[in-house]
Structure 1
Amino acid sequence: MEHRSTIQEVAKRAGVSNSTVSRVLNKNYPVKEETRKRVEEAIEALQFKPNLLARSLIQDKSHTIGILTPSIENLFFSQVVKGIDRHTRPQDYITFLCTTDGDPGNERRMLDTLLNRSVDGIIVIDPQTENVKSGLYEKVGRRIPLVLVNGWYKGVDCNYVLNDEVAGAVEALGHFLREGHRRIAFLRGNRSHSYDVKEEAYREFLAEEGLEPKGGQVLRIADGNGQETVEQARRAVREALGDRQGTFDALLCCNDWMALGALRAVRELKLVPGREISIMGFDNTLISEIADIPISTVDHHMTRLGQTAAQRLFEVIGEPKQKTRKIIMQTDLVIRST
């Protein structure tokens, strides 16, 4: 069995005490430059690797972050996770990533798992509405640093980092109007706070523009975040459009997976995207850019969203008793061929 060097061996080689080696490792007390160099040279020569579990017990920190996300198939979530990782890695933190499939029960069980692993903080991407409304996350946030991404609910006191999804939806709908569309449909998945927010913005916009009730139509599919979303969206749009004399000439989709499915349905019906019917996605994932016909979409700036969430989490880790904040980030419209 390969010998694992100890802190005592490092101290002996460097000619210092064990506590001095510990100070160099933890960077929690000043050490003379000459002494620090001797310790670092001894660490390198002996290939010493600190026992992370022991360090976590001493420091009362695990140097781990938990992330809960509905999916990693939906590139929106993957990009947010990438942004989180960009911020946590330079801090010498590692992440535990848990996928919940958008199920409230799974989300609660995964949350318990992370708490039992003594993570230093948790970021929840698109938390399930019932778990937010129940006060679950408000309670967790009193125990451990916590940030919710795109899951704000009025009256629930948590740290939030949010895209302005209402502004993004309204900008997309306004673009449809400027292009002369008056029969605008909305495509969403079954269960998500994000979908609810967008649908509410959609209904309010149509009402303000005098387009309800005839001008609006809400299409709903079972899933919103997996690859099956594309096929479900294709079938829903194909059925709604019928024999090409459908009830809408523009479609706002809750994400780019749905927009891709809608695009396939439109092409099957020999309609011209962007001319006979306009399609708008949401998120600006790679899917929207590399589709056969590039898809217009609302840019969420996903990586920046994740970085901001991680930055906020570390602020709370450093100062747990500070007041909660709601950080709202802007979206941008990306017009392509649809």
Structure 2
Amino acid sequence: MMKLTIREIAEAAGVSKATVSRVINDSDAVSEETRKKVLEIIKETNFKPSSVARSLSMKKSHLIGIILPDLSNPVFSKIIAGAESYIRNKDYSLLITATDFDIDMKIKHINIMKDKGVDGLILVTDHGSEEFQKTLIEFEKPIIMIGSDSSLPYIPTIKIDNYKASQDATQYLIDLGHKNIAMIRGPLSDYHSGKQRFLGYRDKLNCYGYYSERLVEEGWYTFDDGYSAMEALIKKGNLPTAIFCASDLLAIGAIKCCIEHGINVPDDISFVGFDDVDIARMYNPSLTTIRQPFEEQGDLAIRIMIDMIENKNSIPNDEDSKFTTSMKYKLVIRESTKNIK
């Protein structure tokens, strides 16, 4: 059957265009008899209202913004996959952008999202400046943080316990008999993925008297940084028997460097990564790592966001409010670690 315009729906039902709009938007200001008549015509004609028109009438864009640090990182693509899998059957679309870990770019993108009229904003990680915090306060629509705490206590956060996960990974290596355990960490300016993962490692080793600052190198979670950090450890001599890396890409870069230098993994050095991106199980040797529930984080963030948009009373708006979801992680044991007892 041919599709009609909203004006033609109104004429067929013998009502005004405004009444049809009220029915579409589920307004209470329409009698049940009129509502039934309009809905029957809509069903018969397969009428679908314009998303632009609905946005104007409901003062909603049906857009949810997501700002990531890096579009190329498989960690963040998994978060997007989780969000998209839930939202595809909802009347919302995602507007995605990345900052390349630049705080000024992050502030710029938040303001662009605000100008675009997004109904809510999902931020992946929150490390910034006073200006960044001010920008969040002025955003005035729902915000959710993935991967870290928020500087504003009323912003819901979804994360794992990075400190505890790193302690568990380090303890696993100790239980395998390793004492000389190095770490390739992220930057300490990145409070959760960088600093907290390092502190978990350091504090666990200190419990046994094993910590040595000379066995710590730093990188930005990438393959190349892992390779370079491993080169630095090799140049120092007295190689560790195990290395804990703050990301899988760091670990795989370091393993590649070991292979090229004739160092066997795991016979000479065991490796543990962090994240469990797809390449961790595909690489040879497959990588023992901490699995994060990235897709589940994206899915949960979208569910909470839509609820906040559609039920405004559920949006926290004072400093006494705090909503944090700490999700479960898992140590996945594969081929890159070896018992040396």
Quick one: which amino acid aligns to residue 230 of structure 2? V
Quick one: which amino acid aligns to residue 145 of structure 2? L
2:276 maps to 1:284: yes
1:17, distance to aligned residue in structure 2 (A): 4.2
Match of 1:236 among 214, 229, 234: 229
1:25-64, aligned counterparts within 5 Å?
25-29=24-28, 35-42=38-45, 44=46, 49-64=48-63
Structure 2 unaligned residues grouped into runs of 5+? 337-341
Count residues in correspondence.
322
1:266, distance to aligned residue in structure 2 (A): 1.5
User: Within 2, Cα distance between the matches of 1:154 and 1:34?
Assistant: 51
Distance 1:92 1:153, change over 3 A: closer
2:217 corresponds to: 219
Deviation string 1:57-101 (CA, Å, 9 cap, x unpaired) is 211211110001011211111001111122223221101101011
CA contact (8 A) 2:226 2:250 kept: yes
Deviation string 1:247-269 (CA, Å, 9 cap, x unpaired) is 32211111111111011012112
1:253 corresponds to: 245
2:184 maps to 1:187: yes
2:66 maps to 1:73: no
Distance 1:157 1:15, change over 3 A: closer
Distance 1:285 1:180, change over 3 A: same
1:295 corresponds to: 287
1:335 corresponds to: 333
| Root mean square deviation, CA, Å | 2.5
User: Within 2, Cα distance between the matches of 1:70 and 1:304?
Assistant: 19
1:210 corresponds to: 209
Distance 1:134 1:197, change over 3 A: farther
User: Within 2, Cα distance between the matches of 1:315 and 1:51?
Assistant: 23
1:26, distance to aligned residue in structure 2 (A): 2.8
SS of residue in 2 equivalent to 1:55: helix
User: Within 1, Cα distance between the matches of 2:266 and 2:9?
Assistant: 68
2:179 maps to 1:197: no
Distance 1:140 1:297, change over 3 A: farther
1:175 corresponds to: 172
SS of residue in 2 equivalent to 1:336: coil
CA contact (8 A) 2:150 2:157 kept: no
SS of residue in 2 equivalent to 1:324: coil
CA contact (8 A) 1:138 1:156 kept: no
Quick one: which amino acid aligns to residue 94 of structure 1? S
1:315-334, aligned counterparts within 5 Å?
315-317=307-309, 318=311, 319-322=313-316, 323-334=321-332
Quick one: which amino acid aligns to residue 167 of structure 1? K
2:100 maps to 1:107: no
1:159-174, aligned counterparts within 5 Å?
159-174=156-171
Farther-moved stretch of structure 1 (320-329 vs 157-166): 320-329
CA contact (8 A) 2:244 2:271 kept: yes
User: Within 2, Cα distance between the matches of 1:36 and 1:209?
Assistant: 71
CA contact (8 A) 2:65 2:120 kept: yes
Structure 1 unaligned residues grouped into runs of 5+? none
SS of residue in 2 equivalent to 1:83: helix
2:265 maps to 1:273: yes
Quick one: which amino acid aligns to residue 40 of structure 2? K
User: Within 2, Cα distance between the matches of 1:118 and 1:320?
Assistant: 20
User: Within 2, Cα distance between the matches of 1:286 and 1:105?
Assistant: 31
Superposition TM-score, scaled by structure 1 size: 0.86
User: Within 1, Cα distance between the matches of 2:152 and 2:43?
Assistant: 51
Superposition TM-score, scaled by structure 2 size: 0.85
Ranges of 4+ aligned residues in structure 1 off by more than 6 Å: none
SS of residue in 1 equivalent to 2:128: helix
